[in-house]
Chains A and B, each alone.
Chain A
Amino acid sequence: MQFEWIKIPYALLTLFIVVNYGMLLGAFIQKIGARVGRRRGVPIWQNYADLVKNFGLRTSITHGVMFYLGPVFRLTGGIGLLLFVPTIYGSEMFSNLSFAGDLILALYFVFFGTLGMALGAGESGHPHAAIGISRGLSQVTAAELPLALAVFSVALQYQTLSITDIVSAQQGGVLHWTLFTNPLAVAAAMLSFLGSMMRPPFDVVLAPQEIPIGPPTEYHSSYLALMQTNRAIFPVAKIVVYMNLFFGGAASWPVFFLKVFLIYMVSVFVGVAFPRFRVEQSIRWFLVWAVPLGILSILLA
């Protein structure tokens, strides 16, 4: 695959769609939660209002260069992750900038934003930020492991690291999805997915009352707005990777919307059903339950 200039507007189009979808999805899921609790919940456009409000705040402070750059790293990480992965299978238009690298690029680029954000939060000098990061990083070491194993297993299964090739290998019916051809890997990966979504039981990182929302505790105004934008993009981008690897990808936008929503809902269901883990508990949980699945999947692949 080669670069052509036309890819840039196409990529921006993808970005535009995903940002809006992510915003609405976030509110929609909140609304589902509210309806389950017999509330009306936020308006579906609430995230837009919040975003505009935050951009519209007139003052802001900065703790230093890294603090300033943290959200930039964060958003770059989200946009980059989205654009390095083809969104719609078979569509030249929405293959984005995936010519730059394969699955491994996507896997490692996930950390770009995390790292930058952690540094920015660190410069705020707030101990709660540091505590949150300490927890988050600790948890991620264990949570990432099943995913890494599952990815390895899938790569072994299809003998390729190219996301497009992995998706194309899953075409031809639901039963060709990795979900059915390599269920162990998918199970491991989905457990890992729970850990990466910052929802219960794995949200001790944010712990709003104990360490007021952890790392971003000092962020506000347009910094926060950038992070909100990322909050719309990043989960979707991550789910796209899962979708492509395990659930047959998406050949059109409607399928895309549906699959992303359903995958997202997995973490929501688990989140509303379980209380919070402490960090060492969640590490043990991943190592005891998720990692053996991953190991089995690579042994059987």
Chain B
Amino acid sequence: MTSPLYIIAVALAAAFLLGLLREQWRSLAYPVTLAALAFMSWLSASWLWALASGSASPVDIYTAGTAPPFAINLRMALPEAVLTLLINLTGLFSALYLKSALLARGRRGMAVLLVAIMALSGIVLTRDIFNLFVFLELVVIATGGLVLLSDHAHALSAGFKYLVVSQVISILLLIGIIFAYHATGTLNIDGMAEAVPGLQNAGASQAFELAFFLMFIALVAELKPFPANGWALDIYEAAHPAFSAIFSAGAGTAALYAVDKLLLIGGPAWLDMATGVGIVTFVAGNLLALPQSNDRRLLGYSSVAQIGLILAVLGQRDILGEDTYFIAGGLLLSHAVAKAGLFWLSGLLAGRQLVDWADLRERPMPVFAFVTFAAMLSGLPPFPGFYAKWELVHHLAGSGRLVLLALVLFGALIEAGYLFRWFGYILKREPPGEADFCRVIFDKPHRVLPVMVAVAAGWALAFVWGELASSLLGRSNLLLALPLLFALSFLLLDWLPAWVKNSLAIAGLVAFFAATWTDYDALRMIFAIIFTLGGALTLLASYHVHGRRVGFYPAAMLMFAGMVMLIRADTSFDFFAAWELLTVGSYFLILRGKHSEPHALSYILFSLGGAFLIMAGFAIAAQGAPQFALASLAHVAAPFAPWVFLLLAIGFMTKTAAIGLHIWLPGAHAEAETDVSPMVSGILLKAGLYGLMVLLLAMGKQQLYGIELTHVLLWVAALTALLGNLMAVFQEDAKRLLAYSSIGQMGYALFGLALMNHLGWLMALVFVINHYIYKAMLFLAVGGVAKRTGTREMYRMGGLIRLMPLSFIAVLVGIIAVSGVPPLSGFGGRWVFYNAILASDYRLPMVVLFLAGPIAFLYLFRLIYTIFLGQLKDELRRVKEAPFWIVLPQMIYVALLIAFAVVPGLALHRVDTYLNQFFPEGGLSWAGGEITSNYGYWNPVAIMIIVGVIFCTVFAWLLFVNRRAQPVKQFNIVFSAERPFRPETTHFAWNFFAPYRKALGFLTQPLVTIFWTTVTDLLHTAGDLGRRLYNGNGQTYAFHFLAFVVIVFFLVGL
């Protein structure tokens, strides 16, 4: 193997060569730089390959030919190989990216760049503390130089502030080093570590502690901890993005590794300080990033935060043990690759405001790159950060460090918040003018290449961490899961026309079900059918879209992949990974709506918040194990069980939009595209119910402080049903109305589950099936109408029954079913409901649900009346029936609904039997068409026939006596012997339930919305207050640093 020393030697040699290069060979300078960096990268890579494959073992290189302490030694082991590779590659691609800037500044700039990369590698490789100091100073000086590569007006002052603080740092570091040397007699890091326990008297050991504190705090300061980091942020903002990439990915990495080495010396006593500083930085950094509008400064804060998190992880090595490097490495590499990628990407854009990134809109590759980076930073599957976070949280929970766990998740949520808000800007904001992005792409391929490399690296890391995790968790690589691969393959097929992709998607879903349908028990079968076949059915509607529909299918299939993986998951990890996948997929789907930016954001935030609670719940339940079989939730130890239950239940309820957690749903479902609304409403909501079912099946009734949690659930469910329905009554927007109705319906289903008896569960399942069918159907119908009429405001429609008869039929059947009126299938749910509550011990929550029931009539009538009945408006006189492909699934749903109404046993009989093993009492008996419970009976076939016969007889009679009825037009109405003025003034539709609002409108005060708005406002205010710390003065920053040192000093309590 080539000695790793050449990484340093080659860089130095090349730097000198550049300096000595003759003037006429000037043009060679840039190739030489690239070649040197390429060689360095190759060297690291070859070592990484050799070390990882086991063909080489870690080596120590003695520089002066002798062993330490008499000479400096460098070490090349697996971590060093990974980190130097990361640094060198960042350097290489940044150099490529910097081409024009470097060529403009001449070869001295290139030399400085080489020195910087060399020094960063040196920090990683060296085992000598003073050598570390030297490399660090080299980095400082090189940074001072490279900052000036930027055209930014304030790069100069930023660089100076940086130098000021670096001076202070280096003073502390040097003092620390010399006293540490004095105490231990060596400068070698390993030597020091060995010497520390042998320190003779208390005085020496105390002196060493102090010296170590100075060294440690100095190196920690290199990680830009909050609040001593103003100087670094200015660099991030002002420097050339390619240099910021090095600064974030390279310098951060090197400094982290340096701190890691120091922790080796200091031993466990210093871990708490690392954790403390790290987590404070993580939370504060993310909080401060929240109000930022400058992209690079935001990335700076985010870098600070990420590195803080990794520092906290390093500080937790006492419990993380061998997994430290898996976790820290996962986080670090995700951070480095993503940040480098984002900084490079930022260089492609002209504007510096976050909203200026809308330039990327309509350009799939950069958007995909951004998505990749954002997902890596937020720790979404399948990227390394996901596994790292999972492991971290499990270890923390296993050791009872719950406050830290909460802070980690809180910070991560804020981070996801601003990243996804930013993504929303990209897709949904208007580009700030004539976008010059295309030109850049073709002009400067050397700037695009690094971004693409970062994307590739991100996915490669995803694979590698998947492999590592697979050995850790004893499961196959997540990235290789068939559904996920299928979904991801649509990324590659995105150039195909939409109908081809749609056929593929439908075929895939159906084939998956055909291949796996024998695997499911009766309960899962229902969900499997809804998720796969139901999904395929809603996808039929997608045929109406022409063109390529870029981005739709990867997102949709990601969601479906997540859902099928969810029902097939046996272990907590699989379950959670699937949960995250479906969340992410659905987020992208929802974001596609025209005005869905804020709603998609609140969706992803609530979902991720919920997901974090689920993760925490799983972690607490696992008690230190990396995962557990879902079934063993039943055996969670007593003191934890109710808490686990609570966390998981709240997590799942964010998805079912229980009251309090519901504010994301109306906007998200209403603003989604026509064929997306049925997916996210009819299908996706069931994922939350499935989670609750799994939870309740395993854990049953839990008590917390003497309160039965299922009882609390009952109340939540009842209030959800009531307020969901009530809110729906007052909507003017048809899709929002349906969305609120979904909240109410989910309340019913949740209520059934929370009853915790046989029929309650059966009722929940009836609602699952029914809600899928009718809500998908109604959303399609309303979506089709909205598409044709160009509005979703119901009062602007009216009288469409003649123009859109099929849609009318769908809505009619739908509302009869939703309202629970016999003979359609909604009645089954109501019947089971009454039987279920009779068997229950609770009384009072039912009252709320009874109140909720009839309210459904209000909004349902309004839905059908204001759209299809009443007065036809002039401009809608020529609208046509909804497109065939939107109507076709509706008609299938009508058939399904009627079938389910007549023979509910087809779907329910098996489940009823299956539920016997959990709730042996209170099942139904199915004899012929009749269904009998302990309390009552019901014969759907007979009902359908009787109602049908009576109806037909009366109808035939009316036809006979009224056969000559004269069809009239819309204004042929009795109008107090006058005539109506115009259709708009005659259609009674707006504020339809005004009297109702007078009576009960006070219940619809948006208290929950106000609450969550206040929470986000508080977060933003906190961030804004924090920003005042950073007044831009270099001296203040130096003072911050010293204050930081003093505060930490007293907190450490030396």
Contacts and interface: CB of A to CB of B under 8 A. Distances in A.
A279 B995 contact: yes
Contacts of A79: 950, 954
A55 B955 CA distance: 14
A168 interface: no
B851 interface: yes
A123 B801 contact: yes
Interface stretch (A24-32, A128-136, A178-186, A240-248): A128-136
B865 A109 contact: no
A217 B976 CA distance: 11
A101 B939 contact: yes
A235 interface: no
Contact of A298 (B835, B847, B961): B847
A111 B816 CA distance: 10
Contacts of B962: 60, 62, 68, 221-223
Contacts of A122: 861, 864-865, 869-870
B942 A108 contact: no
Interface string A271-301: 0000000111001100000010011001101
Given A105-B938, A152-B850, A278 B961 contact: no
A200 to B, nearest CB: 17
A218 B961 contact: no
A148 B198 CA distance: 82
Contact of B936 (A59, A125, A160): A160
A134 B838 contact: no
Interface string B843-872: 110110011011101100100110001110
B974 A62 contact: no
A66 B869 contact: yes
Contact of A279 (B822, B937, B988, B999): B999
Contacts of B998: 279-280
Interface string A72-95: 110110011001100000000000
B870 A125 contact: yes
A3 B949 CA distance: 15
Interface string B321-332: 000000000000
Nearest to A60: B965
B855 A102 contact: no
Given A76-B954, A83-B946, A111 B988 contact: no
A101 B1000 contact: no
A160 B835 CA distance: 9
Contact of A156 (B802, B838, B992): B838
Interface size class of A (residues with CB under 8 A): 35 or more
A1 B861 CA distance: 35
A140 B830 contact: no
Contacts of B1000: 283
B993 A101 contact: no
Interface string B812-856: 100110011110000100110011011000011011001101110
Interface in A216-253: 217-218, 221-223, 225-226
B264 to A, nearest CB: 68
A226 B930 CA distance: 32
Contacts of B968: 61-63
A137 interface: yes
B894 to A, nearest CB: 16
B1039 interface: no
A155 interface: yes
A102 B938 CA distance: 6
A121 to B, nearest CB: 9
Given A119-B812, A126-B973, A222-B962, A69 B943 contact: no
Given A112-B821, A115-B857, A131-B988, A64 B938 contact: no
A280 B869 CA distance: 26
B775 interface: no
Interface of B: 799, 801-802, 812, 815-816, 819-822, 827, 830-831, 834-835, 837-838, 843-844, 846-847, 850-851, 853-855, 857-858, 861, 864-865, 869-871, 930, 933, 935-939, 942-943, 946-947, 950-951, 954-955, 958, 961-962, 964-968, 970-976, 986-989, 992-996, 998-1000
Given A60-B962, A101-B936, 17 more contacts: A55-B961, A66-B869, A76-B947, A83-B946, A105-B938, A112-B947, A119-B812, A119-B861, A130-B870, A134-B995, A141-B851, A142-B999, A152-B838, A152-B846, A161-B835, A162-B936, A295-B844
21 contacts: A55-B961, A60-B964, A61-B967, A62-B965, A68-B958, A99-B942, A100-B942, A104-B827, A105-B822, A115-B821, A123-B869, A125-B986, A130-B865, A130-B992, A137-B857, A152-B834, A160-B936, A225-B961, A279-B995, A283-B995, A283-B1000
Q: Which 10 A-B pairs have the closest CB atoms?
A: A161-B936, A102-B936, A279-B995, A122-B869, A280-B999, A283-B999, A130-B988, A100-B942, A127-B988, A280-B998
